Structure 1
Amino acid sequence: MTESTRGKSGTAVAEDPSGRPMIEVESLHRSYGTGPAAVHALRGVSFDVPRGELVALKGRSGSGKTTLLNLVGGLDSPDEGRITVDGTDLSGLGENGLLELRRDRIGFIFQSFGLIPILSAAENVGVPMRLRKTDPREREERVELLLSLVGLADHAQQRPGELSGGQQQRVAIARALANKPALLIADEPTGQLDAETGLAVMELLRAVVRSEGVTVLVATHDNQLLSLADRVLELSDGHIVEHS
């Protein structure tokens, strides 16, 4: 068991004995297509994300935000460069290793929610634990805890179609936390929500950093939401152009 330290968010986070950040990105390049028609999504991107922080990526559509999140999450591979997540070099993992990483150590939150329509909120949250074959009693307790964390304890038996957009995104956040990941990756999680609901969802992510001790990397185009981040990285034309 590692000792705990406190991140900028004021929460206790697991301390890596090596003192390494949660995310290390070095000279990342990713292009799509070949020849004159090739699209250079990322051009030599480098940055670190300390443990226990909420770091926001901003940039216009096409700036490379989603490409970068997919690479850090092990959903895609770079043409050049190196990515280390929670001390693991992704380039050293085969498909099975990447699958285990995504299942056990990374939670994903998407703009489209991605909930299963025929399942209740509780059943949707429990899906990752079923895939991991978690003990049923432990799974039920974790589901109850997470729905309470996101403010939906009274909506456990409702299906996605019976919930508002903000409530559906809260269920998606609870599901992303199901297997106690070290890292949450969120791609425009407020993109389908109105301003007030989007701000509430971002405040929830901020609270999750404190209560669960996770690290969050979130892409957003909403300037109002950037103030909730510990740090902001701006992408433009495949480059990091600003740290704040």
Structure 2
Amino acid sequence: MRKCERTNRGGTNGGGRVAARVAARAAVVVEDLHRSFGSGSREVHALRGVSFEAREGELTALKGRSGSGKTTLLNLVGGLDTPTSGRVRLDGTDLASLDEDARLTLRRDRIGFVFQSFGLIPVLSAVENVGVPMRLRRVPAKQREERARMLLALVGLADHVDQRPGELSGGQQQRVAIARALANEPALIIADEPTGQLDSETGRSVMELLRAVVRSEGVTALVATHDPNLMELADRVVELRDGRLVEDEA
């Protein structure tokens, strides 16, 4: 079942938002994606013919129960895995056309990752953690620190730049992780259950921040979440069930 986009016909502002959404470029295109693991009687079909688009400047939420294929889909879109069949295009680039070195460069330069467990380096300060992706690109130290501080200010942590992860709350650590994901000005942010270790109030605050960042920075975000209370914050909701897409609603 694929639901049609709902339009707001009640006013100019709503219609303008819908028109902007329709006009937005598809940053991520997933076409008939299949992913299987194992073979013979032990073969597991994690994804079964999934197709959808994620548009530039929008936050798309992936929902579904554990085992529905959300993480597998994120891994394929992020170039961390290769499909059994089908293809993924990011900004017009077919990921299947890239060798491993090119995919590594793509992940470093064009994709920002946010993990449920934050993934921060304990011995580094917040500003140093945000600077890690830029260090990998050999961005000069002064430029690296200036951008890291700017991004921490963007996520509301201007007063915590010198604190290490252990000195920050869970919500603050996830904000550092979001700032780090933006370090190299990515086209796409991939977040796998970014609120999974947070209480409901903090989780909603982090999701609202992601939405605000997507709109202010003009990036695309794919966010896997099992929390139905966070769906209303997304521009689009894609539901997976047993590896199949069962809903795609804006």
Q: What TM-score do you get using the length of structure 2 for normalisation?
A: 0.90
Match of 2:62 in 1: 57
- Cα deviation for residue 105 of structure 1 reads 0.5
- Cα deviation for residue 10 of structure 1 reads 11
Match of 1:4 in 2: none
| The one of 40, 64, 68 aligned to 2:73 | 68
Please say if 1:224 is aligned against 2:229: yes
Residue correspondence of structure 1 range 154-233 to structure 2 within 5 A = 154-233=159-238
| The one of 110, 119, 122 aligned to 2:124 | 119
Q: C-alpha separation between the residues in 2 aligned to 1:161 and 1:68?
A: 31
Residue correspondence of structure 1 range 83-122 to structure 2 within 5 A = 83-122=88-127
- Kept after mapping to 2: 8 A contact 1:10/1:210: no
Amino acid at match of 1:85: L
Instruction: Say which SS state the counterpart of residue 77 (structure 1) adopts.
Output: coil
Let me know the Cα RMSD of the aligned residues. Answer: 1.8
Amino acid at match of 1:186: A
Q: C-alpha separation between the residues in 1 aligned to 2:146 and 2:104?
A: 25
Q: C-alpha separation between the residues in 1 aligned to 2:25 and 2:158?
A: 36
Q: C-alpha separation between the residues in 2 aligned to 1:39 and 1:113?
A: 29
- Kept after mapping to 2: 8 A contact 1:8/1:52: no
Q: Which runs of 5+ in 2 are unaligned?
A: 1-15
Q: C-alpha separation between the residues in 2 aligned to 1:20 and 1:206?
A: 18
Q: Identity rate of aligned residues, in percent? A: 72
Q: C-alpha separation between the residues in 1 aligned to 2:17 and 2:227?
A: 22
Q: C-alpha separation between the residues in 2 aligned to 1:226 and 1:113?
A: 21
Please say if 1:149 is aligned against 2:146: no
| The one of 31, 50, 54 aligned to 1:45 | 50
Instruction: Say which SS state the counterpart of residue 22 (structure 1) adopts.
Output: strand
- Cα deviation for residue 8 of structure 1 reads 5.1
Match of 2:4 in 1: none
User: Deviation per CA, 1:110-135, whole angstroms, max 9, x where unpaired?
Assistant: 10100000000110000000000012
Q: C-alpha separation between the residues in 1 aligned to 2:61 and 2:167?
A: 31
Amino acid at match of 1:138: Q
- Cα deviation for residue 87 of structure 1 reads 1.1
Higher helix proportion (structure 1 or 2): 2
- Cα deviation for residue 93 of structure 1 reads 0.2
Q: C-alpha separation between the residues in 1 aligned to 2:27 and 2:128?
A: 30
User: Deviation per CA, 1:167-200, whole angstroms, max 9, x where unpaired?
Assistant: 0000000000000001100000000000000000
- Cα deviation for residue 9 of structure 1 reads 9.7
Match of 1:23 in 2: 28
Identify if the C-alpha distance between structure 1 residues 171 and 80 changes in structure 2 by more than 3 Å, giving closer, same or farther: same
Instruction: Say which SS state the counterpart of residue 157 (structure 1) adopts.
Output: coil
Q: C-alpha separation between the residues in 1 aligned to 2:178 and 2:19?
A: 20
Q: What TM-score do you get using the length of structure 1 for normalisation?
A: 0.92
Match of 1:33 in 2: 38
After the TM superposition, which segments of 4 or more aligned residues of structure 1 sit over 6 Å from their partners?
none
Q: C-alpha separation between the residues in 1 aligned to 2:86 and 2:17?
A: 28
User: Deviation per CA, 1:51-105, whole angstroms, max 9, x where unpaired?
Assistant: 1110100000000000000000000000000110011100000001001100100
Number of residue pairs the alignment of both structures matches: 233
